[in-house]
Structures are given as C-alpha cells and as structure tokens.
A and B are shown apart, each in its own frame.
Chain A
C-alpha cells in the first residue's frame, strides 16, 4: 500500500498518529529553539562575566603597574618640576639668569635672542604606552653672542648655564679670535667673539580630550 492509495477515511483513522508525529516534531523543534536561546543567554552571560573579570584583572594589573610607576618616577618628577621644567618657560627668568651670569663674571655685554616657542606632542615610548598625547615638549631657541676677554669667559658662561636646574642644551657654539697677533693679547680688551645657541626645553601637560 502506498500513500497515494490512502483514502480520506484512512487518514482520519490515523489522525492521532499524525498529531503525535507533528507534536513530537514541534516539541523537538521547540526544544532546539529553547536550547539555542538558553545557549545564547549562557554564552552572553559567560562572556560578560569573563569580560568583567578580565577588565577587573586588567584594571588591577594596570593599577599595580601604575603604583610601581608612581613609586619609581614620582620623586624624579618632583625634582624636575621643582626646577621649573614643567611649565611654559619663563622668558623673563631666562633673561635674568643671563644678566646674573654676566654680572657674576664681569662679562662683556651679551646679545641675547629667545626664539618663538614650538610645541611637540611626545609619542609614548614602550614603557608609557597609555600616555599618548598626554605630554607636550616645548622648545625655544636661545641665541647668545658676546665678546670675550679670554676663553674662560665662555667656560664660565657655559658652566653656569649648564649648572642651572632647567633643561637647556647647547646646540652650537662658535669661538673666533679677533686679535691677529700675540702682542694684542697684552692689552685688556675684546680678543675673541663667542656665539652660542641653546635649545631650551620645557614640558606641558596636554589638555585631556573631551
């Protein structure tokens, strides 16, 4: 007997069988759907919990690293900050310093030029990976030219500039003799000219991004 030979009466006779078959299919389908939803929910739950735990773990590790960093760098930072390096650059103070050096060593007049300041956002290094854009390096070029009685005038000037706490790096320094004979050196006067340029660095904290 094939399905095509079944009459309406036969199908009616088997209605409960078909109902049970459909019911079981529906039940199994429903179970699959329900199971799938349960799994999705469980996956979400476990992912959220894992993410929360990883996040907390990372926070803790970062805090530990931050604590170590603070312990390592805070004192050095305090020294740097006390030297006035962490500020915009006090130009009057710089002029005052050159005046004081000149007065202290009886130097000939100093021609001083302080160039305009340029800023550069420091890229993070390997150790400070999260500090991208947090610190700006401010640079000003300082030019000083003066006649010298003797090389020691330049030595004293440079020693005083370098001895200061702020960060001033010598970039160029030209020393040229103006007297052409040894006899000239017997006279008290300007025997040499010195022209030096310096890079004056200060730091500034970048404003936090909104």
Chain B
C-alpha cells in the first residue's frame, strides 16, 4: 500500500553494459543483482524475479541511444492527431517500438502547428531481451521509461518546475554524464556523454565544456536565448570539492552540485557496495513520491500489467459493490429494527386496552337494544313529543282575543299542524340558506312525519265567523280588524285576512244589500303560529 508514491515493485535499470535489478518495497530501494546483457543470465535473472512474484516490473533505461527530436504537426485532434504522430514517429524512429511523441506547445505564427517532442530508445535490443524473459514468465511490466523521462517527475519534487532554463546533469560513478535540458518542468532534450577516460581532477572542466557545447546547440535550436543564464544542477556521488565545477559559474552558466550521498533519500537505498549512485537516488526520490508512468512501453509489453490492473479493477469493483450494497442495506435494516420495535410497543399496549374493554363491557347494564338504537329512538321520541301541540291552547288564544270584539260570532275553527314554509335568506356568514331536503321515503301522506322529524312544523288556524253591528258598516269592519290585531299581538302569531266583511280595497268590487236590518257579514282569518319557545323567537327577531 502506498499513498502518493509507487507501491512495491521491481526496477530493472538497463545501462549500456549492464542491467541492474532492484526491488522497491516499504520505501526501500534494494539492489538485487547487476547482470550483463547476456543470454546466459536468463536463469539467474528469472530466479531473482520469481522471488518477488507479486511485484510488477518497471524498466528504466539509461542508455546512450535515447534520442529527442522536435518537430511540428498540423493542429488536429482525435484519430487524425494520432495518425499524424504515428507517421512522424515512423519517419523518425522506424526501427524501435520504444518511442513516443508528445505535444509540447503551439507555434504562435503561420498555421499555428503543434510543437511536438519525438523521443525514442533507439537501441531496442538492449530492452527486448529482458522484456521477452519477463513476458515468458508472465510478469507484469508496468512501465518502460528512461532516466531522462523520470526527471519530469523529479523536477517538481525539487521545486524546479518554474525554471525556464535548467540543465540537470547526472554523473554516475562510471563517469557517464547524462545532461537533460528542462524548460518549465518539461524535458526538452537529453543526451549522454562518456567521461570515462577523464581523470577526476579534470571532471569540472569537462563538465563545463560539455555544458557549453550543449548550450551552443540549444541556442542554435532556439531553446535558450543568448543572454539567459543556464542553471546547471549536477547530481553526483561526490561533493563539489571533488568535482570543482561550481567555481566556473558565470553569466551564462550557474553550476550547482548535489551530492546524493548527503541527501535524505539516500538513507532508503541499500546497495552491495553502499555507494549510492545518482541514478539510485533519482529512482528512490521519484518512487517515494510518484507513480512511474509508462513512456515507451508498447501495449504488447504491458499486457500482463494491464491484465493485473484489470484484475485489480474487478476486485475493487467487487469490493465496492459489496461495501456499497451492504452499506445501502444498513438503513433498511435499521428501519426493520425500528418497525419491529414499534410493533412490539403496539402489541404491548394491546393487552391493557383489551382488558379495559372487557372490564368496561362487564359493567354495562342489560339493555334491550344496542345503545345507539336506543339513543336514536329516545331522541326521535323527544323530537316528536316536542311538537305535540294541544289545539286547546289556540282555542284559548282565540277566546282571549274575542273579548276585544264582542260583535263577532265564530262559526268554525280549523286547526292544522303543517310545514313551516322555507324562507330564502342568508346566514350569519353571508351564505345563502339552503332549503331543507325532504327525508327520503316520507312523502305524500307521510310528508308531515318528515317535517316533524326535522322540527319544521307550525300551527295554522283558519277562523271563520260573522260580524254584525246594528248601525255601522265601519264598526262591523273594525271589530274584525281589532280581533285580528289582538291575535297578532301574541308572540309568534301572524294573521292574514282571507275574507273581510266588506272588501274596501280600491281594486275590489263592493257589493252589499243596504236595508233596515243590522249589518251582518262573514269573514275568514288565517293565523300562522310559530310554536317555538318565546326565547328563540325573540333571538330570531334581534338577528338582522
């Protein structure tokens, strides 16, 4: 498990004459073997590799034959871009499969083509032999890269990604000097020079010469302006006192030597001779903090690594599904638990409720019918009883009124219990009062029963009689009116004259026999009596 850095892996560092096998585990770079490029080393190599069965392999080339070329292609995207890049790579590096093209920027003038960097390991046989053995062993080759390409990862770690003109030089113990030009964190060019025949006392001078020579080339291809200073950082297994190059710093070059043995990362490198090379330091530094991307490896080479990644992806997906699925089930399970608790609470309450019910029922007295039916019967009985009016009350009312009109003689009285007519109006809220609906099943001769059940009855009287006066027509007429007024003076009583002794209305014909006899004529009064209690009637009068 690694956070930010590479996980455990095997590193196969391929140099011009040897291949060095290292393991990277628990942030420790350990040298396993240094082997020559010889078919006879196959068994030894594979024997070592088999000791680390689950370690993927990173192949890092540190070869003279790594070429960098700059070109331009038309600015297109998608498959056209890929096709153009392939064409360029085929043209530049026909004989190797370890190659790559990347866009580094864009021209500012003309067609504004893309600037591309084409790079390749042009001596593939140095890698092919080891790669073939690994593939035969079905080992996962995670990436194929080079020391120059690793510097792309190293530069940000050292905070040098903003340097415009940086020449990172790596001087190994065999005095091979790899010089890599980096502009704003991007590797633009790299080459390796052999200083193997140079005595140590002249190393500084030779490094200066190589740097000046490279700068001249970079100026010629317009990577560095003439007036700019080139920062030259030299990674070496010795201090500047041994190399003596920093003293040559001037306006065009500023030298700085990094003694890798004095760096903290060197503590994590375990070698046979305990002498840390700049290459080892670079590897340890990068592996600690970064995943090493594949640069040169073709898909066929990375087959088992891809399968391994695919397998890991499947396992991760399975684990993700398992965790997510089980996680999503947790709220449901909690809900189930909650509902079961609720059910238990409800069931616990059920017993006392049933006991209370039984106890209550046991206390009930015997009844001849269900309580609701009894209630309905009693209420209906009381409703009807409340409208059990005695006509004698109205006879007494008439008798009292008759005392005001001694000249009247009654010939008939009709007393009826009838429906109170509906009077449209509005209620206190301002809504129209709806006419009451008749009870279904109670019509024609039983309609009055419906009216009584709805408590909408009133008493209607029809009083027939005769009036007489020995002398005056007016006196006879006024006796009837006085009788009507006396009746209407009672609360809830309304009187209408159906027939007066003499119709004196202007729109009526008057016909009577005038002789010496007394004045005698018939009349009919209709009386409507609202039998509700006087308090209710008064309240209704007060409401507008």
Contacts and interface: CB of A to CB of B under 8 A. Distances in A.
Interface of A: 1, 5-6, 10, 13-14, 17-18, 20-21, 23-25, 27-29, 31-32, 35-36, 38-39, 42-43, 45-46, 48-50, 52-53, 56-57, 59-60, 63-67, 69-70, 72-74, 76-77, 80-81, 85-86, 118, 120-125, 127-131, 134-135, 137, 139, 141, 151, 154-155, 158-159, 162, 167-177, 196, 199, 201, 203, 205
If over half of B's interface residues share one DSSP class (helix, strand or loop), that class is named, otherwise mixed; here it is helix
Interface in B351-368: 353-354, 356-357, 360-361, 363-365, 367-368
Nearest to B396: A155
Nearest to A48: B343
13 contacts: A18-B314, A21-B318, A48-B343, A52-B347, A67-B371, A69-B375, A77-B378, A120-B441, A121-B441, A129-B372, A169-B387, A172-B416, A175-B415
B319 A134 contact: no
Contacts of A175: 395, 412-415
Select the residue from A29, A35, A139, A154 with max chain B CB neighbours within 10 A.
Answer: A35
A203 B383 CA distance: 13
Interface residues of B, number: 83
Interface in B363-413: 363-365, 367-382, 384-385, 387-392, 395, 410-413
Contact of B446 (A20, A31, A53, A139): A139
A69 B372 contact: yes
Contact of B336 (A39, A59, A123, A155): A39
B42 to A, nearest CB: 23
Contact of B377 (A42, A43, A80, A151): A80
Given A10-B307, A49-B346, A67-B360, 16 more contacts: A1-B306, A13-B311, A21-B315, A23-B318, A28-B321, A32-B329, A39-B335, A49-B342, A52-B350, A70-B371, A80-B381, A137-B380, A169-B387, A169-B417, A172-B415, A177-B411
Interface of B: 299, 302-303, 306-307, 310-311, 314-315, 317-319, 321-322, 324-326, 328-329, 332-333, 335-336, 339-340, 342-344, 346-347, 349-350, 353-354, 356-357, 360-361, 363-365, 367-382, 384-385, 387-392, 395, 410-417, 439, 441-442, 445-446, 448-449, 452-453
Nearest to B321: A24
A14 B311 CA distance: 6
Nearest to A78: B368
Given A69-B374, A86-B377, A24 B416 contact: no
Contacts, number: 262
B307 A81 contact: no
Given A49-B342, A155-B395, A171-B416, A139 B449 contact: yes
Contact of A35 (B332, B350, B370, B390): B332
Contact of A42 (B335, B379, B381): B335
Given A129-B372, A176-B412, A50 B346 contact: yes
Given A1-B307, A17-B315, A56 B350 contact: yes
Contacts of A124: 372, 376
Contacts of A76: 378, 382
B445 A141 contact: yes
If over half of A's interface residues share one DSSP class (helix, strand or loop), that class is named, otherwise mixed; here it is helix
Contacts of B445: 118, 141
Nearest to A182: B409
B375 A131 contact: yes
A27 B201 CA distance: 72
Contacts of A155: 392, 395
A43 to B, nearest CB: 6
B376 A131 contact: yes
A135 B17 CA distance: 117
A70 B363 CA distance: 11
Nearest to A169: B388
A172 B460 CA distance: 9
A46 B307 contact: no
A119 to B, nearest CB: 9
A169 B368 CA distance: 26
Contacts of A169: 384, 387-389, 417, 452
Sort A-B residue pairs by CB-CB distance and give the 6 closest, nearest first: A28-B325, A49-B346, A131-B372, A134-B373, A1-B306, A42-B339
